[in-house]
Amino acid sequence: MLKIALIIGSTRPNRFADHPAKWIAEGAKARSDLALDVLDLRDYPLPFFNEPAPPIYSPGGKYNEPAAEAWRRKIGTYDGFIATVAEYNHGPTAVLKNAFDSAFFEWNRKPIAFVGHGGAGGVRAIEQLRGVAIELQMAPIKHEVNIGREAYLGVIQGGKSLDDFAYLVEARTALFDHLVWWGDALKGAKAARPRG
């Protein structure tokens, strides 16, 4: 079974991200092909990347910053990732980008899927993160969940739940299905060619 981490990508008080995070975790419970842990960036108060060398030049080396060291080691224990993506000024949150910057080898050759939220469902932030993920030698999954204005307002003002939006439930299923496909494929390939 694949070990997947759901990274909550925004940390402000009263954040909307708790809604999609809870909903993704609920959806994951119904699956027998993945086990999901939630990694809340509030629990990993990373410094802005503050090491003397870029992560790509320190394989096996130890970071000076204990919080960054704990983060990258944690990331290394997973087969794949889902991130909640709030869109701030047409980009991802700084805390999420910094979390990506704070590891390298630990992300390599693993799939990642995105759950965006914001006025336009986080699409512009997700597009930027796809490029970041490729640079980290990850496989960003095409299928994403976009929680746009209608569902966002429905949840925070209209007493609705994300389950009330059938297109979101369908998108969540596709996201899981394709993340698992890529996760299995990459895990198998890495086992066959560990130094390839």
Ligand X SMILES: Cc1cc2nc3c(=O)[nH]c(=O)nc-3n(C[C@H](O)[C@H](O)[C@H](O)COP(=O)(O)O)c2cc1C
Closer to ligand X by Cβ: residue 12 or 142: 12
> Which helix (H) or strand (E) covers residue 91, if one does?
strand 91-92
Question: What does the alpha-carbon distance between residue 22 and residue 139 come to, in Å, rounded to a whole number?
Answer: 24
Closer to ligand X by Cβ: residue 80 or 118: 118
Q: Rounded to the nearest whole angstrom, what is the least distance from the CB of residue 15 to ligand X in the complex? A: 3
Count of residues of this chain found to bind ligand X when the rule CB under 6 A is applied? 14
Question: What does the alpha-carbon distance between residue 79 and residue 1 come to, in Å, rounded to a whole number?
Answer: 9
Tokens of 91: 């980009």
Only segment of 22-30, 49-57, 114-122, 168-176 that touches ligand X (CB under 6 A): 114-122
Among 49, 88, 105, 165, binds ligand X (CB under 6 A): 88
- In the complex, which residue's CB is closest to ligand X? 118
Q: Rounded to the nearest whole angstrom, what is the least distance from the CB of residue 162 to ligand X in the complex? A: 12
Q: Rounded to the nearest whole angstrom, what is the least distance from the CB of residue 83 to ligand X in the complex? A: 12
Task: Find where tokens 């990506």 sit.
Answer: 100
Among 21, 28, 46, 86, binds ligand X (CB under 6 A): 86
- CB burial string 126-150: b at 16+ within 10 A, e below: beebbebbeebebbbbebbbbbbee
97 binds ligand X (CB under 6 A): no
Say what angle helices 18-29 and 166-192 make with each other, to 10 degrees.
70
Question: What does the alpha-carbon distance between residue 113 and residue 90 come to, in Å, rounded to a whole number?
Answer: 19
Residue 126: CB partners within 8 Å, gap ≥ 6? Answer: 85, 92, 114, 116, 144, 146
Only segment of 13-21, 35-43, 59-67, 184-192 that touches ligand X (CB under 6 A): 13-21
Main-chain dihedrals φ then ψ at residue 42, nearest 5 degrees? -65, -30
Among 2, 4, 17, 136, binds ligand X (CB under 6 A): 17
Residue span 29-68 as binding mask against ligand X, x where in contact by CB under 6 A, dash where not:
----------------------------------------
For binding to ligand X (CB under 6 A), which residues are involved?
10, 12, 15-17, 86-90, 117-120
